[in-house]
Chain A
Amino acid sequence: MTTMYTPDHEWINIEDHEAATVGITQHAQDALGDVVFVDLPEVGRSFKKGEVAGVVESVKAAADIYMPVAGEIVEVNEALRADPSLANSDPLGEGWFFKVHVTNMAEFDQLMDAPAYDLLVKKG
């Protein structure tokens, strides 16, 4: 498994643990509706697991983006900042939020895999 999920509906792909990619799930973008604004963290800033690292806002609501794991931000998606609707059209691809240097792999392993996350979404 290289992609894991949080109960707060973020995903993290760890193919490169020095620059693991974080975004919001299909379910999250669907629940939010049309995304009109993203607040992305500063590159170089470190966060603990569970800290608020960003904000995603749709027409109707604002939601926090929580750090799936501890780490330092190494890159943010400037294309998403310029066109927040990428979070709707391609949440698992072009609509990624930021990349993080993961320091503690154990935190990653504790997250949900795809079947576990799908079950969480189905249970509502």
Chain B
Amino acid sequence: MSAIELLKTPLHALHLELGAKMVPFAGYEMPVNYPGGIIHEHRHCRESAALFDVSHMGQVRLVGEESARALESLVPVDVCDLAVGRQRYAFFTNPHGGILDDLMITRRETDLLLVVNASRKQDDLRHLVTHIGQRCHVQPMPERALLALQGPRAAAVLARLNGGVAALVFMTGGRFALDGIDCFVTRSGYTGEDGFEISVPTEQAETLARALLRQPEVAPAGLGARDTLRLEAGLCLYGHDIDETTTPVEAGLTWAIQKVRRAGGARAGGYPGAPAIDAQLSQGPAVKRVGLVGLERVPVREGAKLFDAQGGALGRVTSGTLAPTVNQPVAMAYLAADHALPGHEVQADVRGRRLPMRVAPMPFAPHRYHRA
């Protein structure tokens, strides 16, 4: 087997120093967990503050007068009305209304900052350059690392480095000096907790990470805990819970499609797959993403097939695990709309055994965002 050269984030040496178990992920060598283990890291994030290296994700800036209008031709989201300092969740769609990637958009003074998935960033860049590269400058930002500080103590910790961050609320961002380092901070994350994502110059990322880890409330957490935390929070993982074959409507992400971009809105449509998505918005989707809670203490994982009481095939699990905080098996799946009802019981096939699961509202663990 030929060795594929894995990319390293600016914190690679720090991960090794901290005793991380490193795994390949989206072309990078990333920490899956540190010596305390995934469950410990997961709980620490729910109870205190966890530091994640998410520098593998793609940061891209769009510069130019037309950048918001241009971006609206690729996402069904209101970008034009996004005020400076405000952030929005979005997705690139394909001509069938499927999801090419999900992303965060923040309007800054002089540009739009996009954060996209690591596994999709090359494709996303190509997509952006091809379709809107004539209307704005599409600039990848390899000079920036990305850290996430998440948990109920995150705000107190970060305020120690710069009291100004306390003014941020969920889904807003601004430029702050943290320990003298010029950072762009948003109050957002992927854990369901209050917290921040910090865009930092690569050469100063390790200094900042060490400054954060010196705070008594902070412990490092890896991709393993990141996955269990986001799953409990009911947040989709691209390539698993959403992909090119699922639409935002089927995925239950219609809250991210503002009225102004829907049929009848002032800037309706005009993005790939708009007719398909508008049709699903008005008629309802045939299948829906649901949360499932296992009634037996057996983890039900991605790929597990789902059946109704009569043994009829219903679909399959898109991600699942035994959730550390809710302490039950939880999963996501797509079910026919008439099965996607709270309390509805389905059977999951795990190694030939049928395990009962119940459709449950998401998030499985309550969101604790700091809203205005």
Give A contacts to B, CB under 8 Å.
33-34, 36-37, 39, 55, 57-60, 62, 88
Contact = CB atoms under 8 A, between A and B. Distances in A.
Interface in B11-50: 21, 32-33, 37-40, 42
Contacts of A57: 298-299, 322
B39 A62 contact: no
Interface string B269-301: 000000000000000000000000000011101
B324 interface: yes
Most B CB within 10 A of own CB, among A33, A37, A59: A59
19 contacts: A33-B21, A33-B32, A33-B33, A33-B37, A34-B39, A34-B40, A37-B298, A39-B298, A57-B298, A57-B322, A58-B38, A59-B39, A59-B42, A59-B224, A59-B322, A59-B324, A60-B32, A60-B227, A60-B321
Given A55-B351, A60-B38, A37 B301 contact: no
A114 B46 CA distance: 41
B55 interface: no
B228 interface: yes
Interface residues of B, number: 19
Contacts of B21: 33
Contacts of A59: 38-39, 42, 224, 228, 321-322, 324
Contacts of B324: 59
B301 A62 contact: yes
Classify the interface of chain B: helix, strand, loop or mixed.
Answer: mixed
A37 B33 contact: no
A36 B33 CA distance: 16
B38 A33 contact: yes
Nearest to B225: A59
Contacts of B39: 34, 36, 59
Nearest to B32: A60
Contact of A36 (B40, B227, B322, B351): B322
Contacts of B298: 37, 39, 57
A39 B351 contact: yes
A35 to B, nearest CB: 10
Contacts of A34: 37-40
Contacts of A36: 39, 299, 322
A68 B298 CA distance: 25
A88 B42 CA distance: 17
Contacts of A39: 298, 351
List of 7 A-B pairs having minimum Cβ-Cβ separation, nearest first: A36-B322, A34-B39, A59-B38, A34-B37, A57-B299, A60-B224, A34-B38
A103 B324 CA distance: 41
B330 to A, nearest CB: 12
Contacts of B32: 33, 60
Nearest to A36: B322
Given A37-B298, A57-B298, A62-B301, 14 more contacts: A33-B21, A33-B37, A33-B38, A34-B39, A37-B297, A37-B299, A55-B351, A57-B322, A59-B39, A59-B42, A59-B322, A59-B324, A60-B38, A60-B227
Nearest to A57: B299
B314 to A, nearest CB: 22
